[in-house]
Chain A
């Protein structure tokens, strides 16, 4: 418990330690810590920037998608319009063709009917004439009744 030169020794040691700590311990540690702080700050900033960029990209993608959707809808609408036009045209053409065919067929039919009727008339009249001839050959003179007969064949 005596005060002695230990006091001076401790003072000297104290100053030496302070000097060495100031020179070799404090600066590298503080520098490292500050450097890391800066890096963390930069990293956080970069992360934030990345997030906002991502949001922007997402928005752009959304816009692109909606545009494409619109385009697709337009294309589909056009296509369906075109298809219905085509169907319409085809229907018209078909109707016209059918009309043509029908009229041709009915004309032919009429001709045939007329022809057949004439033939039948002729045949019937021939048959009637034959029958009349057969029945009336004795009583009817073909010469005298020629006019009447021709009138009859004409009405048949």
Chain B
């Protein structure tokens, strides 16, 4: 562990910096400071976000796949029961909001819900544990522990939330064009709701409505998780102030973590439900 003291703002900044791998000074390397990371431009990768995103995704996939392999039609075991409960919940939500035939929507809803839930749940691991382990391992390997940035909650990285939201946006546009035709899709943007004489207003309204879908999806999730993470970090700062603050911080952390269980589930559910609704709208062919 590093002996020299660090200020609160350094602590916060360190916690909010991704471990970025990209081109700097003409060679591919990890960024050692936030400025370096920023200067790497678009073609760089937030290794920590990507890593935990894939890990949580794989956990989800492996767990559900093993349930799918062992699925019996007889009396289900406790594990299978739990998985089936989740599946039933997703299936119910999809049937409720999605009135068309598309075999992709339910699996997509399941993926979104479970994956985002797991990514958000990383927030419940105490903020310092995994970064500290990372810093210690980097130090053990002879690296600079200050450069060992490690954000463990993928959904606090806008790249992750926008990555999913933009994928969903692509699917929305794809299915809109597939079901309404290219003409129908643009007619909906251009001639609705005010008819062809209100074309500019239509374009503005519908265009904003369309673009706002992925942006609101991504920013809602990101904002909620980022704010939650910051509160955890602020609470964690209290541990360094004194015993009284430390105990108070401990109580706060437990309280906020309990409340956060609600938020992470709720955000995963909102993301999923809105995706289902957007997909339903994309399939609607009534205008």
Contact = CB atoms under 8 A, between A and B. Distances in A.
Given A17-B57, A29-B84, A33-B87, A3 B164 contact: no
A83 interface: no
Contacts of A21: 61, 64, 107-108, 110-111
Interface stretch (A4-12, A44-52, A102-110, A134-142): A4-12
A25 to B, nearest CB: 5
Contacts of B166: 7, 11
B158 A3 contact: yes
Interface of A: 1-11, 13-15, 17-18, 20-22, 24-33, 35-36, 39
Given A18-B111, A25-B64, A2 B50 contact: no
Contacts of A31: 71
B61 A20 contact: yes
Which of A9, A10, A30, A33 has its CB near the most chain B CB atoms (within 10 A)?
A10
Interface in B37-63: 37-38, 40-46, 49-50, 53-54, 57, 60-61
A29 B71 contact: yes
A10 B160 contact: yes
Interface in B65-112: 65, 67-69, 71-74, 76, 83-84, 87-88, 91, 103-104, 106-108, 110-111
> Interface size bucket, B side?
35 or more
- The interface residues of chain B, by DSSP majority, are classed as helix
B235 interface: no
A150 B209 CA distance: 173
Contacts of B74: 36
Interface in B1-22: 16, 18, 20, 22
Given A25-B107, A28-B69, A5 B61 contact: no
Nearest to A15: B167
A7 B68 contact: no
B73 A4 contact: no
A1 B16 contact: yes
A6 B163 contact: yes
B175 interface: no
A94 B18 CA distance: 129
B157 interface: yes
A39 to B, nearest CB: 6
Interface in B164-210: 164, 166-167
Closest 9 CB pairs of A and B: A10-B163, A6-B159, A32-B71, A22-B107, A28-B68, A35-B73, A26-B107, A6-B46, A21-B107
A10 B20 CA distance: 15
Contacts of B108: 18, 21-22
B43 A29 contact: no
A57 B101 CA distance: 49
B39 to A, nearest CB: 9
Contacts of A8: 163
A9 B49 CA distance: 10
B163 A25 contact: no
Interface string B207-225: 0000000000000000000
B46 A32 contact: no
Nearest to A3: B159
B88 A10 contact: no
A4 to B, nearest CB: 5
B162 interface: yes
A18 to B, nearest CB: 5
Contact of A29 (B46, B68, B154, B163): B68
B30 interface: no
B87 A4 contact: no
Contact of A14 (B69, B84, B163): B163
A4 B61 contact: no
